[in-house]
Structure 1
C-alpha cells in the first residue's frame, strides 16, 4: 500500500461505555486484539468504576486506546463523551460484554471505501443464538428495519452528530433508536453489508428490560412522526406477547 492510498483510509474508532466491567471486558479486549485490520482506536468512556476495570484497561499495550473516566448519567451520556473525544471519522459502539469477529474492522473499512457517501453502514449481528439482519418497515420494526444492532453491527459517520445532534438523555434505553430513526427522517444514506461483524450480548438493559424497551421504542416512534393510531395496537400486541413469557 503506497502513501497516497494510506491518506485515503477512513479513521475508525470503537467506543465502549464501561462501569465496573472488569469481569466481562477480557473477551472484548481479545476480540479487538485479534482484528485483521488493527488501524483503529478504542475509546473507553468509563463511568467511574470502582473495581479493576481501569487497571485492566491501563495494562493494555497493544491497542491504540484512549481512556476517560468520570461519573455520568448512563450509557448514552458516556457514549456522547466518547464520541466527542474520539479521533475517528466513523465509529462503532461496543458493549463491554460484546465481542467482534476477527474481520469486523476490515469489513467496515472496505464498505466505507466502497460507499464513501454512506452515513451509516449496517451489518449482520449474532444476538444470543440468533443471526439478526435488518428487516422490514420502520413502522413495524423501528430501528431494526435499518440496522441489526446499534452495538457491534453499525458504523456511523461522526458528521451525523453535527447534523442531528447526539444521543438523547431522555431515553435511557432507546436513545440509539431515536438517533437512527431521526437519521432516516433526514434522508441519511444507509448502506448494508451482508457479513456478520460480531456477537451482541443479551445481558444489556435493552434485552433484560423488555417492557421498558418496548415503551421507550413506542415513544421514539411517536416522536419521529409514526402514526399513533397504528403504534398503539402494535404496542399492546407486543406487550401482551412479552408479558405471557413471565
Structure 2
C-alpha cells in the first residue's frame, strides 16, 4: 500500500505585507486543508510578520531572520519539512481552491519525482513548452518552479539544495540537474493557480538573462549555441534593458 502523499507549501518572504493577504486567502480556500505552510522571512520591517503570525488557522511554521536571498530561505524551509512533496509559492502567487487536492491525487497516482501543472500568467494559460532543453531550458520540463510544480523533498538528498551561486535562477539549475539525473516528471492537465509578477526574475531582466545563460552553459553540451542564443536574447530585449 502506498504511503499517503503529504505536501508542504514553502514561501520565502521579505517586506511582503501588501501581497501576502491574497496568498493566505488562497491557502485558506483549499478544499484539501491537510498541508503544512512553512514560511521563512528575511527579517521584514513592514507588517509581514503580523499577517504570518495571525494565520493560526493554518498549519503554519515560520521563522524570521536574516538570510542570503530567496533560495537560501527555500533551502531552510525544505530542511524544516517532513512532507513527501513541497510546493513553492511566492507572496504574490495564488492557488486555485483545488490545487493541493489535485497535486496530491496526481502524486498518489504516478509517484513521480516532479508533478507539473498549468498556471495562469496575466490571463494567459502557461504549460511546459514542447521543444529541446537547449532552447527552452527548464521551461521545457515544468511550467514554472513556483505554483506550477511539486517536488519530492527527498530529491535534495540526491541532487543537493538550491545553489547560492545563482540568486535568480537556482531553480532552473536544480530542475535541469534532476532530469539529467533521471528524475521522473508527470505533466498534469489541471491549472494550479496564478503566478505573480513581483518576483526578482521579473524585476531584474539583465540578471535573469545572464543567470539563465550561465545555467544553460553549465548544463548543455553545445556551448557556442548557448552563447549565440544569449546574444539573440539580449538584442530581443534591448529596449527593456
CA contact (8 A) 2:12 2:73 kept: yes
Contact persistence 2:39–2:60 (CA under 8 A): yes
* Cα offset, 1:20, TM superposition: 1.1
Contact 1:173 1:206 in 2 (8 A): yes
1:87 aligns with 82
Q: 1:132 aligns with which of 102, 126, 134?
A: 126
1:245 Cα deviation (Å)? Answer: 4.3
Partner residue in 2 for 1:56: 51
- The DSSP-based 3-state class of the residue aligned with 2:237 is helix
Aligned partners of 1:33, 1:230: CA distance in 2, in Å?
A: 46
Normalised by the length of structure 1, the TM-score is 0.94
**Matched position secondary structure for 1:55:** helix
Structure 1 residue 205, shift from structure 2 partner: 1.2
Structure 2 counterpart of 1:154: 149
Candidates 206, 209, 212, aligned match of 1:214: 209
Deviations along 1:168-224, one digit per CA (max 9) or x if unpaired, are: 000000000000001111011011101110111112111122221111011011112
Corresponding residue number in structure 2 for 1:120: 114
Give unpaired runs (5+ residues) of structure 1: none
Counterparts of 1:1-246 in structure 2, within 5 Å, are: 8-116=3-111, 118-135=112-129, 136-245=131-240
SS of structure 2 residue aligned to 1:123: strand
Which ranges of 4 or more aligned residues in structure 1 deviate by more than 4 Å?
none
Give the root-mean-square deviation of aligned CA atoms: 1.3
Deviation at 1:107, TM superposition (A): 0.8
2: CA distance, partners of 1:234 / 1:131: 25
- Shift of the 245–54 alpha-carbon distance from structure 1 to 2, 3 Å rule, reads closer
Contact 1:99 1:199 in 2 (8 A): yes
